[in-house]
Amino acid sequence: MSLLIKGASVLGAAPTDVYVEGGAIREIGSLSADASADEVVDAAGLVLLPGLVDLHTHLRQPGREDAETVASGAAAAAAGGYTAVLAMANTSPVTDTAEAAVSVWELGREAGLADVFPVGAVTKGLAGEELAELSLMNRSRAGVKVFSDDGRCVSDPRVMRRALEYVKAFGGVISQHSQDPSLAPYGSACCHEGELSGRLGLPSWPGVAEEVIVARDVMLARHTGSRVHVAHASTAGTVEVLRWAKAQAEKDGSWAVTAEVTPHHLLLTTDLLAGYDPTFKVNPPLRPAEDVEALRAALADGTIDAVATDHAPHARQDKEHAFVDAAFGMLGLEEALSVVSTVMVSSGLLDWSGVARVMSTTPARIAGLEGHGRPIAVGEPANLTLADPAATYVVDRDRSLSLSRNNPWHDRKLTGRVVSTFLRGKKTYGE
């Protein structure tokens, strides 16, 4: 099986041809006009990127297959240009054993649309008390390297310390959902604390509830000489802490802190909650414009390392409750590249090489994925995404490949769109 991508702009550079065979890139350069392949793709005007990698996806299987399955989530991922996704552990039952992790990993292999890497829970049942079988999950065929209680914070500093220490043995990383539950109680705190939450009478989630955990965790990572990853950073204060922590980590050289931001925290602001539409209920909550600006700048200058979707599908009935009772979360896989293009590329904050860095190369490095986020070079796996940088479209949630429809981008105009996705040379999305 061979594939010829003709006239693509690799990371936004001058057009060239890319020849793929046996799942890997075999040749790059100007190939003769009559060069033959089993499949030829005319990529004139399109940008070629390494396949995108999502550090933060909720696939809901096992437990809530009505909202999403590994297969439907992988299809949505492919439509969003992703070739690898990390599936969060807060399924039912929780992914806190090797068997559970392997089960998710195998479902991903069966679907064959994106490589699905399970994230293991840090603590048993996400209860925040006893460490889960971190090492056994790592040793399993799923090869788990990223651990998170996402949806909940590992709020006990003693447990967090032990987790950071323990994963050092196999180069693991703890991805923390930073939410001090005393300051922002799980389940109830649902609106950024500020003037709007005061007016609306919604239980509030102050930015400091995130910042105190991020500050604590970087100190613990420094103390333990380990790696901590800040999931869905959402405030300017977090950016300040990260900036300081990264400078310290670079100086020390013995520990590391990385961070991700979601597409929705790069574009949407808390004022969308004024109409009590649960589509916009997410955790951490949408923040004010000044936080959004700080997050964009931090992504551009590398203080925030990666874009991660926090794709959180929910069945319709789970969102049709009163705002405080409705489920947290929004879809994200299919429009992530378009949002980053609209927010970061159109404004000049990132070029396409930068997009590849924050959406593929760096996420793959953080997660320890060897076959993803590689350079587009001869001999590398052909995990590739073709995008049309000029395409402008209005999002229609009913065209989604996800089983859910809680799409915050519905009816919104975005610029830049995924055209095709290739997993080891095989087209997983596109014409």
Question: Binder to other proteins among 200, 219, 349, 391 (CB under 8 A)?
Answer: 200
Spatial separation of the C-alpha atoms in residues 147 and 368, rounded to whole Å: 12
Is residue 375 at the binding interface for other proteins, with CB under 8 A as the rule?
no
Q: Give the whole-angstrom CA distance, residue 91 versus residue 372.
A: 25
* Backbone phi and psi for residue 160, each to the nearest 5 degrees, phi listed first: -65, -40
Determine which residue in the list 59, 85, 164, 202 makes contact with other proteins, applying CB under 8 A: 202
Other C-beta atoms lying within 10 Å of the C-beta of residue 53 = 30
Say if strands 173-176 and 24-29 run parallel, antiparallel, or are unpaired.
unpaired
**What is the C-alpha to C-alpha distance for residues 187 and 151, in angstroms, rounded to an integer?**
10
User: Of 310, 325, 396, 411, which residue is the catalytic one?
Assistant: 310
- Provide, rounded to whole angstroms, the least separation between the CB of residue 194 and other proteins: 4
Q: Rule CB under 8 A: say whether 234 interacts with other proteins.
A: no
Does 92 engage in binding with other proteins (CB under 8 A)?
A: no
Q: In what order do the strands lie in the sheet with 256-261?
A: 146-147, 173-176, 227-230, 256-261, 306-307
What residues are designated binding site for Zn(2+)?
A: 56, 58, 150, 177, 232, 310
- DSSP H helical segments within 194-321, as ranges? 195-200, 208-224, 236-252, 263-267, 289-301, 316-319
Q: Is 310 a catalytic residue?
A: yes
Residue 197 lies near other proteins (rule: CB under 8 A): yes
Contact 371, 383 (CB under 8 A): yes
Cβ proximity of 16 and 10 under 8 Å:
yes
Binding residues: 56, 58-60, 90, 150, 177, 232, 283, 310, 314, 328-329
Question: Could you tell me the smallest distance in angstroms from the CB atom of residue 276 to other proteins?
Answer: 3
Query: 314: which 2 tokens?
Result: 């929910």
Both tokens assigned to 372: 């993803």
- On whether the CB atoms of residues 73 and 65 are closer than 8 A, the answer is no
Q: Does 196 bind other proteins (CB under 8 A)?
A: yes
**Minimum separation from the CB atom of position 171 to other proteins (A):** 41
Segment 312-371, which members bind other proteins (CB under 8 A)? 317-318, 320-326
Residues 252-311 that bind other proteins (CB under 8 A): 275-276, 278
> CB-based contacts of 356: which residues, under 8 Å, 6+ apart?
11, 49, 50
Q: For residue 101, how many other CB atoms are within 10 A of its CB?
A: 28
Stretch that binds other proteins, among 135-143, 197-205, 230-238, 398-406 (CB under 8 A): 197-205
Q: Does 406 bind other proteins (CB under 8 A)?
A: no
Among 157, 198, 302, 375, binds other proteins (CB under 8 A): 198
Nearest approach, Cβ of 185 to other proteins (angstroms)? 8
Binding site for other proteins (CB under 8 A): 185, 193-202, 204, 206, 275-276, 278, 317-318, 320-326
Q: Which residues are catalytic?
A: 310
